Amino acid sequence: MELEQTQEALLPAYLASFDHLIGDQRTGVTLRETVKGIIQAGSLVCQRIASASTVLSKAKEGGQRVSRLARGESTKRSVINAQSLTAALGERGITHLLGADSEELWVIADLSEVRKPYAREMPELMFVRALDEQLVRGYRTVNVLGLTPQRRGILYHRLFTSQEEEFDSESLEIQQALRSVQRILSEHPGFGAVTWITDSGFDDIAVWRTVWEQDEHLLCRLKHADRLVEYRERHGGWVAGDIAHARQQMDWLATVQTEMVVRRGRQRKAKRQPLPAEVGACALRLTYDRNVRREGPEEKIQRQVWLVEVRLPGTHLEPWLLLTDWPVLDAPSAARIFQMYRQRWAVEDSFTFVKDVLGWEEVQLLHLEGIRTLLALGWVAAGFLYELGVTLEWEEVRLLARLGGWIPRPNNKPGKTVLTRGLRRLLDLLSTQAFLEHYRSEYGDLPPRIATILRTGQL
């Protein structure tokens, strides 16, 4: 499907948020056509992006034009790089979220890999984990998505590698993301409570300290059960121990009905099905050094938090161990924490789906900043899809697959081509609706024969 209609009807308003980065008309056209080409091609290969664009495919060296844009060589009058693009994307994301008129914001942080197992010449490759847990060459990224009940928006993205000379630590990369998002939020006040919802890759006291210094809340899945804390015994006072011992003091507060893709009992394969989740909690005291892993004198701080355990009986999944500063005292508060972390899982599926559909791991430049910029352009394209309301959780994935021609059968999962085709058909529908509404607003009504076709569904 050509995305010409979609570009005319929907893309200009979205891409206007990036106009201040553009210094000349040619660069503006290349930027717009690159984003359009990424969606159309489902790839970050420069030549494929150009081939999928009506404008760039007619140029003598369309692929080189995309490559020069990514490497920052096409113009000196524009500021097109990974940092400027993601900063503008964050501004756009928070503006979109504020339009939902919600008092609370959930911020989902995610660490993910750009795997390049067969690459040898790409710069500063590090080792990352493949899906089978084997080490392969690639890069790491930290990504942040904001979430309200009605909307989601991208707030931050950065690709990093431990092989780069300026690299300090993954913890520092994460804290840089925390501070960057906090700056955006401080410039656009409107949310009463901000909660960071993270997986076990963020089980780091320095990261938690930064969140709390920003007067924000935390919900983190734990990785280290040997972390030292204080917990309250059932019939006594506070005692020192670790997370593993604290689990013995759980008050089981709620059983929540949910639906997940899991394998239960003797089932051979995972499938989406209803199941109960048992949620328990106990209070902890956490003591930490305010200046851990940064310069400054030691200053001990004690904070009360809650340990939450989620069991999924009858499945093959390990219990979730979560730490939060939100009080968990009764069934409603326990159920709320479960729903918050459950939403993190859905967003992780969303990250993975968009990553696959837009072909982020296909990037092939021999220039680290160019790789960063091209991946940032992929996130610009993803932000456009998020704003269209493509939530990309499992039901939506199946719908997109059906739109793309997929027929549900056992052991027949929809592939990238089918999902991309379905996504393009959805975009075409949205652009058509926008065009028809614009026509009605300008001329009052549709031509009679077109109106009859739309009413009857017959030519």
**Which pLDDT tens digit goes with each residue over 155-203?**
999 999 999 999 999 989 999 999 999 999 999 888 889 999 999 999 9
Arithmetic mean of pLDDT over the chain:
85
Cα separation, 116 vs 137, in Å, equals: 5
Q: Over 70: is that where the pLDDT of 292 sits? A: yes
Q: Over 80: is that where the pLDDT of 52 sits? A: yes
In the block, which residue shows the tokens 């008309």? 25
**Which band of pLDDT confidence, cut at 50, 70 and 90, is reported for residue 295?**
confident
Q: Over 70: is that where the pLDDT of 27 sits? A: yes
Q: Over 70: is that where the pLDDT of 2 sits? A: no
Lowest-pLDDT choice from 109-113, 328-332, 359-363, 452-456:
452-456
Angle between helical axes of 394-403 and 416-443 (0-180°, round to 10): 80
Q: Is this structure's pTM higher than 0.75?
A: yes
Selected residue with higher pLDDT from 404 and 192:
192
Q: What is the CA radius of gyration of the chain?
A: 24
Give mean pLDDT, residues 130-137: 88
Nearest Cα to Cα of residue 107 among 143, 159, 150, 160: 143
Q: Over 70: is that where the pLDDT of 236 sits? A: yes
Determine the pLDDT at residue 353. Answer: 66
Q: Over 80: is that where the pLDDT of 393 sits? A: no
- Residue 326's Cβ-side half-sphere holds a number of Cα atoms within 13 Å equal to 24
Give mean pLDDT, residues 450-457: 73
Nearest Cα to Cα of residue 1 among 454, 457, 405: 405
Give mean pLDDT, residues 220-243: 90
Q: In whole angstroms, how far apart are CA 234 and each of 231, 249, 251?
A: 10, 6, 9
* Percent of the chain topping pLDDT 90: 49
Of the segments 144-158, 388-402, 414-428, 430-444, which one has the largest average pLDDT value? 144-158
Q: Over 80: is that where the pLDDT of 390 sits? A: no
